[in-house]
Chains A and B, each alone.
Chain A
Amino acid sequence: MAFLTDRKRASGLGAAKTGTEHFWGMTISSAALLILVPLFVFTVGPMIGQDYEAVTAYFARPFPALVALLTFVVALLHFKNGVTVVIEDYVHGLARKVWIIVMTCVSYAAIAAVVFAIARLAL
């Protein structure tokens, strides 16, 4: 730190000490989902309600597997960031921290589960 000037340390941070990373992260993921969501609805949607053989054969194909994988992972990271803001708005004190940790862990667990499931189906 001794090598950084005060000017350099303050640059781009402002009084809150953090910048607009959250906003920019949501902007990127929402732009990505703007493309992924329609692809997901019309790729995965027709499979909902189909029988076991049809579903396993479908997700063994690269395109449906990749669309589903991408959409779930990006959407769950987008959800993690979004639900954090909701919790910050409505829950206070220790409960806020607990809720943010729980919902972040739920998001990570869901990502792990869907990556595992699609990997097994696709490979």
Chain B
Amino acid sequence: MADVNRGNRPLSPHLTIYRPQMTSISSIFVRITGNALLAATLLLIAWLLAASTSAVAFDWVQCVITSWFGDLVFLLSLWALWYHMLGGLRHLIWDTGRGLELKAAERMGWMMIIGSLLLTAFTVIWI
């Protein structure tokens, strides 16, 4: 009687009722940052394409890049890039079978947040 009550079964706890945890939130943000990085990537490709075309085309993209909007996109993307990279590093560590205990996973989540902020600050100051 596997078909009885199909479609009206209690579902496993989902995002809307689950209390946010370090493991879930830090993982979701890896996904968000990874996808959001497409914007800065396409902007940089437009920049290189314009530079390879002409000085006029370059000035046009330059206006966007050096505006407050461009600064905001690149600053957020810089953080997203470092965060996503540290998230990927965490996956590579997990794939070796290490750091899978709850305490270790949560500690790495904090390291991703603090590490990405420090790397962003360092990059902004260095560049």
Chain A contacts to B: CB under 8 angstroms: 27, 30-31, 33-34, 37, 41-42, 44-46, 48-49, 51-52, 55-56, 59, 68, 72, 75-76, 79, 82-83, 86, 106, 110, 113-114, 116-118, 120-121
Which single member of A27, A45, A106, A114 contacts B95 (CB below 8 Å)?
A27
- A86-B52 in contact (CB<8A): no
Among B2-10, B17-25, B38-46, B104-112, the one that faces the other chain is B38-46
Interface of A is mostly: helix
Q: Interface extent on B, as a size class?
A: 20 to 34
Residue pairs across A and B with CB atoms within 8 Å: the count is 87
B34 and A56 contacting across the interface, CB-CB below 8 Å:
no
Q: Given A30-B92, A117-B52, are A37 and B127 neighbors across the interface (CB < 8 Å)?
A: no
Q: What is the CA–CA distance of A46 and B125 in the complex, to the nearest angstrom? A: 11
Chain B proximity of A92: nearest CB distance (Å): 15
A41 touches B78 (CB 8 A): yes
Whether the Cβ atoms of A79 and B51 lie closer than 8 Å is no
B25 → A minimal CB distance (Å): 17
- Given A49-B66, A76-B41, list of 10 further CB < 8 A pairs? A30-B91, A37-B85, A41-B123, A42-B126, A45-B78, A52-B58, A55-B47, A59-B51, A117-B49, A120-B52
